[in-house]
Amino acid sequence: MRKIYFNTAVGLCILSMFAILSCKKVTPKDPVFPTKAKTILFYFASNNNLSTDAAANIKKIINGYVPSDGNLLLYCNNFNLDTYVMKDTLPLLVNVYKDEGGKVCVDTIYRFGYMNSCTKNAMTSVMKIAKTMTPANEWGLVLWSHGSGWLPVGYYSTVESTDEAPMQNGAVRRPYPWSAAPGGVDPYAHMVKSFGEEKNVEMSIFDIEEAIKAAEMHFNFIAFDACLMGDIEVVYQLRNYCDYFIASAAEILTDGFPYSTVVEKMCSFDYNGIAKNIFDYYNSKTGDFHSVTIATVKTSELTAVAAEAKKLFAEHRGEIASLDLEKIQRYFRYDRHWFWDLNDYLVNLCGAGETAAFTAALEKAVTAKYTTGQIIDLVIDPAKFSGLGTYIPKPANTTLDTYYLKYDWNTAVEMILPAASE
C-alpha cells in the first residue's frame, strides 16, 4: 500500500483557505432570456367542452408557420396531440420557436399548479411569466375559448331572454318575434363557441382588462377566437391595451381560426390580412360551415367614433324604445337578442343623412371587415355589416342596463343614463 504523508502546516493552510471560500456569499444571477422581435401569446382557456377543438388548433400551430425571429407561446392544458385528449388539467406554457439552425423546437418552459384559467389572477400570472421568459419588441395576443360578448358573467347561458320584458296591461306577450331554441336546446350548439368558461367560472371584460393592466402589457393586436366578442363595448374597453383588435360580431364555429395559415399573418402583424385569411378559410367551405363574420379595428380611431355617437344619442336617445328591431341587422340566433349591428342600429335610429359623420368615423376605425353572409341559419346582409356589434336597450332591462353603465363606451356616448339623471 502506498503511504501518503500529510504535512500539518501545509494542511492547515489549505483547510483555512477552504473555510474562507466556503463562507463567501455567492449571489446567483437572474437568468437572462434573449429578447426576440416578436412573441405571439395564445391563451387557450380550454378545460371545458372545447378541449378537443383546442388540441386540434394547437397541433395546427405547432405544425404550421414558425417565425425565425420570434416565439409562439402557448398557454394550454397538457394535451396528447395524437389523440386530442387532455393528459391532465394542469396548464403549461409551451414555447414553439426555431433554433439557430432553423429547426422547430417545442419546449415546455413553465408548468403551473392547478389554477382556473378563467380568472384574472391566472391570466395576469401567465402574461407576467411570458413577458419574463420570452421578451419581445412586439406582442400579439390570441384569446381562445367560449365567448358571450359584453354580457355579465353567466348571463348568456342562464337567462331566459324572452321573459325579460314587462307585461303591459296585464297581457302576456313576447317582447320579440324571435323564438327560443326548440326544446330550449340549440341544435347547432356543437358547432359554435358560445370569453372563457371553466368549471362554471367565466371572465368578464373588466376581468380581462384588469389582468392585462396588472401585467403591464400592451399588445400590437388582440384577437378573440371566441363568439360574439366583436362588440363596440368590448373593443372600446380594451382600446388602451392594443393597437388593433380582431374579432367576430357573431358566433365563431368550433373550427376556430385557420392556424395553419393565419399565424404567418399574425407574425408579420398584417392586421387586415389576419381577418382576410380567416374569411378566406370559411368562404371556401359549403353549407353550415360557410359561416363567418370577422373585422379588424384600429383602436386609435375609436375616440372619434364615440364623439359622433354621443351627438346622435343626445338627440335620439328617447326614440330607442320605439325602434322596429326587425329592420336592424342582428348577430344572434334564436332569442339571444343582445347583439346588433352598430351602424345599422344608428341608421335606423337617426336616419342615414344624420349618421353620415358617424358612419365615416366608423369606417375609418374598421380597417377590414368580411362576412360570408350567414352564420349557420342566420342571414347577414353584407351591405349592413359594419364589422362591430352593440347592445340595444329595448325593452328596458334593469339588470343589463345597470351593468351597461360600467362600460367606458356608455360613459363616452351616454346611450343609457344613470337613473338619477333621467
Tell me the three cell numbers of residue 166.
Answer: 314587462
Residue 150 above 90 pLDDT? yes
Residue 4 above 50 pLDDT? no
pLDDT, average across residues 293-319: 98
CA 233 from centre of chain? 13
Residue 172 above 60 pLDDT? no
Please report which confidence band the pLDDT of residue 153 belongs to, taking 50, 70 and 90 as the band edges: confident
Confidence (pLDDT) at 18: 39
Taking only the tens place, the pLDDT of each residue in 256-280 is 999 999 999 999 999 999 999 999 9
Confidence (pLDDT) at 421: 43
**pTM for the structure as a whole:** 0.88
pLDDT, average across residues 345-364: 97
Confidence (pLDDT) at 196: 79
What are the Cα distances from residue 388, in Å, to 16, 339, 363, 374, 416?
76, 9, 10, 15, 19
Question: How deeply is 293 buried, as exposed, middle or buried, from its count of CB atoms within 10 A (0-12, 13-18, 19+)?
Answer: buried
Quote the percentage of the chain above a pLDDT of 90. 70
Question: Domains of the chain: which residue ranges?
Answer: 36-154+189-299, 302-417
Tell me the three cell numbers of residue 357.
Answer: 359623420
Confidence (pLDDT) at 332: 92
Considering the domain 36-154+189-299 in this protein, what is its CATH number?
3.40.50.11970
Taking only the tens place, the pLDDT of each residue in 76-112 is 998 888 888 888 888 999 999 999 999 999 999 999 9
Confidence (pLDDT) at 80: 87
